[in-house]
Structure 1
Amino acid sequence: MTTDQINGGGGDGTSTGEAYSCSFCGKPQESVRRLIAGPSKIFICNECVGRCQQIIADDQPIVKPHQKPTTPRDMFKLLNEYVIGQERAKRVISVGVYNHYKRIWFGTEDPDVELQKTNVMLVGPTGCGKTHLAQTLARILDVPFAITDATSLTEAGYVGEDVENILLRLIQDAEFDIARAEQGIIYIDEIDKIARKSANPSITRDVSGEGVQQALLKILEGAVVNVPPQGGRKHPHQEFLQIDTSNIMFILGGAFDGLGELIQSRQTKDATSIGFNSIGKAKEDEMADFTAVEPGDLLHFGFIPEFVGRVPLVVGLADLDHEELIQVLTEPKNALIRQYEALFKMDGVELEFEKSALEATARLSRERKAGARGLRSIVEELLVDVMYELPSMEGVTKCIISEKTVTENAWPQLLDEDGNRLDGDLPEGKHRPAAA
């Protein structure tokens, strides 16, 4: 027995000459886009099909994660293996993530209690580890993970990327296993760029950002969303993937330039209101203390109340200090220096960074205001020429990076197995440092 499709008033076909209507809602074919015919002249319209899909999705039992959630203490320990500093942020996030996945695993037997999910906002300067923290969380939890940039998003009708395409990246990372994707983590970077600002309207861009905030509300809170399987803009004649965002954890991150002044202004106001005149000139001169951020600060920054309400956990991250940057270089399992040591070892060469070289690298990163993110580019600049020459040189067993290599562009010390220098021809712009 076949099932036929009849174009409705919004369709692109021609009328059959007979008047049909949906057997479920009673709407005539002119009022709907499609009527699907079943046996014995039973018809269902596209709108009722959508409602049926929603009912079925709501009745589906929640698929539990494949393992019980990691306890906050254990999660904190695992984060410490990869993330340097940010002790308070790691503790708060460990509890928030645990509660989020505990809610999925155990649910609640009390019909009067509805456990809402926990979305997280990470606020901190460039290079403090926001993206790295989100990536490490996903790795620890072994869940699908997707990263997107908020600056590419626009509200519906504008040139740019629809918010639904964020979900497609997560589905792709889950290898199109929808149930697994529905328990993943999505990290949206540069979220501060969609704060509401006064600007001239544009026909090609949602300049204010408020439209993007509105578009994100539904998926942040939890809803069944239609996602184009090939990405791009949605149109009425394509098939969709349906995904429920109720158990997807969203982590939002941004540098929030200017938020520090709002925080300091609030702290000054709070101090004077209880009898203190000032938080002090020294405090005002310090780098913004993002760890003191509150939801109200985000409202003043330009986020609408509905958006802030859907991100209950706001975590401030501090700028990494000198010692922490050195730790980033040397201590985590994926420490930058360890990675380059492994690369040099493949060529039979031992790479050594003198302590003074590590300190100089950390100072340079802070001078560039690049944080941990800038360390890789600095180390790559230091090593690119020697990595170019070493595979063609014979007898080199050790490469020593000194402070002068960082500060004066000096050529590293290359030694043979007896400790003799084998510098060879120096690349243009390099000079041989004086012997120690």
Structure 2
Amino acid sequence: MNNLKPTDIVTELDKYIIGQNDAKRSVAIALRNRWRRQQVPDSLKDEIAPKNIILIGPTGVGKTEIARRLSRLSDSPFFKVEASKFTEVGYVGRDVESMVRDLVELTVNAVRTAAQEAVTDQAWRIAEERMLDLLLPKADRGRADAAGEGGLEVVNPSTDAASSTREKLRKMLQDGKMDSRYVDLDVAERNMPMVEIFSNVGMEEMGFNFKDMLGSLLPKNTRRRKIKVPEAMKTMAAEEAQNLVDMDKVIQDAIAKVEQSGIIFLDEIDKIAGNGKGHGPDVSREGVQRDLLPIVEGSTVNTKYGPVKTDHILFIASGAFHTIKPSDLIPELQGRFPIRVTLDALNRRDFVRILTEPKNALLLQYIALLKTEGVELVFSDNAVEKIAEIAEEVNVRTENIGARRLHTLMERLLEDILFDAPDVTDVHLKVDEAYVGEKLKAIKDDEDLSRYIL
């Protein structure tokens, strides 16, 4: 992240997202400003608030993908949630603070996983010693039975002899000669009853704490299992990796990461905007907006890992805003999202580029899938143009769902090929304009049929 200039960020986004340059520039500046904030004097650092963004545009034009790719570029904690899932305090539903708790939970899991991967070698060495203890009886029993493949046995060994036998057994273990042998391993189990907490809004955290309390009170049960050496090694290595990780530090690092570089993507924010009538569903929608205010502006949210400040979390909201406008949001919330970016609807040329240019282009995905069956799939340029033309036409005639239309068209187009691929004799298949027209003609021409199938 430190080395990414706004131009670099836009270049990286261009690899996966076609067009929408204004939106890319805005999020690139927002991301760079987070790095800039870390460089300013401490006396000013806390005063610099993130400039939250509203992405305005129809579905399927890349709003969510821009936010998701942005989080991956900076390795930032990222959580996406639909604003329409929230209800205001006093109604049954999700509390708006739950999105911060979910972000913290995801980040703790990610930091813990990274910490466990960092101690993998050490954990594996400890697991190896534990395995040797299982395979080699103690010396005070008067024998060192290291029977593996071929059967080694030393009677009344001295300390040096036992050590030598252990090293021989270690070599056999590392060479895989013990892989077919079974060992008895005590595996920890915790049979906690399924307890679900059906609580009112604002009490979700109580459910988490109750489950944690039950988990700490119930005794750990161990069950002896007879498993093969490789599986036992993996189980013991995972246990040791957990033991080696300092969870207090993991939680501390995760909370700091959330507070300083977290990104929350609020999708469908237009669904909580009222139409100005001020009664019926609009009352609850306005209540959700008011509940969002302190979170977006900066407050402290209690989580099971401790308090988390939201002052410097970046909020990116998005919505189609078909029948309403961003100005229909309450004025206080509008002020928390100072940057507004309109994304363009996609046309035929955009569809052609989406099919072919991105690193994860849709055509490349299908080519790779069929290659696993030994089938070489080729699309002619005219075929790609025809697919884009039909996608644009269907979007105009029915519901405009943007690039998502390409997914439905491609599945319909390649249905027979995907079904018959394991049994075809011709391993070189070419999709041309005539094939596209034949497969999609009925759907394209029949408006009622296209509404239901596409």
Q: Give the TM-score, by structure 1 length.
A: 0.62
Q: CA deviation at 1:241?
A: 4.1
Q: Does 1:351 find its partner at 2:377?
A: yes
Q: CA deviation at 1:113?
A: 8.7
Instruction: Supply the distance in 2 between the matched residues of 1:199 and 1:120 (Cα, whole angstroms).
Output: 26
Contact 2:88 2:284 in 1 (8 A): no
Contact 1:125 1:319 in 2 (8 A): yes
Instruction: Supply the distance in 2 between the matched residues of 1:397 and 1:91 (Cα, whole angstroms).
Output: 44
Instruction: Supply the distance in 2 between the matched residues of 1:381 and 1:132 (Cα, whole angstroms).
Output: 24
Q: Per the alignment, do residues 174 and 406 of structure 1 end up closer, same or farther by CA in structure 2, a change over 3 Å counting? A: same
- Give the aligned partner of residue 129 of structure 1: 62
**Of residues 269, 288, 294 in structure 2, which corresponds to 1:218?**
294
**Of residues 241, 245, 260 in structure 1, which corresponds to 2:310?**
245
Q: CA deviation at 1:81?
A: 0.9
- Give the aligned partner of residue 399 of structure 1: 429
Q: Per the alignment, do residues 87 and 219 of structure 1 end up closer, same or farther by CA in structure 2, a change over 3 Å counting? A: same
Instruction: Supply the distance in 2 between the matched residues of 1:252 and 1:188 (Cα, whole angstroms).
Output: 4
Instruction: Supply the distance in 1 between the matched residues of 2:96 and 2:420 (Cα, whole angstroms).
Output: 47
- Give the aligned partner of residue 191 of structure 2: none
SS in 2 for 1:225: strand
More helix by share: 2
Question: What 5-or-longer segments of structure 2 have no aligned partner?
Answer: 110-253, 442-454
- Give the aligned partner of residue 103 of structure 2: 170
Q: Does 1:179 find its partner at 2:256?
A: yes
Q: CA deviation at 1:338?
A: 0.9
SS in 2 for 1:352: strand
Q: Per the alignment, do residues 69 and 174 of structure 1 end up closer, same or farther by CA in structure 2, a change over 3 Å counting? A: farther
Instruction: Supply the distance in 1 between the matched residues of 2:273 and 2:97 (Cα, whole angstroms).
Output: 19
- Give the aligned partner of residue 313 of structure 1: 339
- Give the aligned partner of residue 156 of structure 2: none
- Give the aligned partner of residue 94 of structure 2: 161
Pairing 1:18-97 to 2, within 5 Å after superposition = 68=2, 70-97=4-31
Q: CA deviation at 1:84?
A: 0.6
Q: Give the TM-score, by structure 2 length.
A: 0.60
Q: Per the alignment, do residues 388 and 195 of structure 1 end up closer, same or farther by CA in structure 2, a change over 3 Å counting? A: same
SS in 2 for 1:242: strand
Q: Per the alignment, do residues 172 and 193 of structure 1 end up closer, same or farther by CA in structure 2, a change over 3 Å counting? A: same
Considering only aligned residues, what root-mean-square deviation do their CA atoms show, in Å?
A: 2.3
Contact 1:108 1:115 in 2 (8 A): no
Instruction: Supply the distance in 2 between the matched residues of 1:69 and 1:310 (Cα, whole angstroms).
Output: 28
- 1:244 partner letter: K
CA shift digits 1:55-111 (9 cap, x unpaired): xxxxxxxxxxxx5262111111111111110122212221122113321x2243555
CA shift digits 1:29-61 (9 cap, x unpaired): xxxxxxxxxxxxxxxxxxxxxxxxxxxxxxxxx
Q: Per the alignment, do residues 317 and 213 of structure 1 end up closer, same or farther by CA in structure 2, a change over 3 Å counting? A: same
Instruction: Supply the distance in 2 between the matched residues of 1:315 and 1:180 (Cα, whole angstroms).
Output: 27
CA shift digits 1:203-244 (9 cap, x unpaired): xx66551111111111111211124x5xxxxxxxxxx74221
Instruction: Supply the distance in 1 between the matched residues of 2:52 and 2:63 (Cα, whole angstroms).
Output: 14
Q: Per the alignment, do residues 112 and 405 of structure 1 end up closer, same or farther by CA in structure 2, a change over 3 Å counting? A: closer
- Give the aligned partner of residue 142 of structure 1: 75
Instruction: Supply the distance in 2 between the matched residues of 1:112 and 1:410 (Cα, whole angstroms).
Output: 57
Contact 1:69 1:98 in 2 (8 A): no
Query: Between the two proteins, what is the percent identity of the paired residues?
Result: 40
SS in 2 for 1:155: coil
Q: Per the alignment, do residues 175 and 78 of structure 1 end up closer, same or farther by CA in structure 2, a change over 3 Å counting? A: same
CA shift digits 1:317-342 (9 cap, x unpaired): 11122111110111011111111111
Instruction: Supply the distance in 2 between the matched residues of 1:167 and 1:109 (Cα, whole angstroms).
Output: 25
- Give the aligned partner of residue 430 of structure 1: none
Instruction: Supply the distance in 2 between the matched residues of 1:243 and 1:385 (Cα, whole angstroms).
Output: 52
SS in 2 for 1:247: coil
Q: Does 1:380 find its partner at 2:411?
A: yes
Q: CA deviation at 1:201?
A: 5.1
CA shift digits 1:96-155 (9 cap, x unpaired): 22113321x224355599212121110011111101111111111111211111111111
Q: Which moved more, 1:157-166 or 1:175-184?
A: 175-184
- 2:104 partner letter: I
Instruction: Supply the distance in 2 between the matched residues of 1:69 and 1:186 (Cα, whole angstroms).
Output: 23
- Give the aligned partner of residue 115 of structure 1: 48
Question: What 5-or-longer segments of structure 1 have no aligned partner?
Answer: 1-66, 230-239, 260-296, 412-436
Q: CA deviation at 1:307?
A: 0.4
SS in 1 for 2:88: coil
Contact 1:195 1:208 in 2 (8 A): no
- 2:332 partner letter: E
Higher relative contact order, chain-length normalized (CA < 8 Å, sep 6+): 2
Contact 1:198 1:208 in 2 (8 A): no
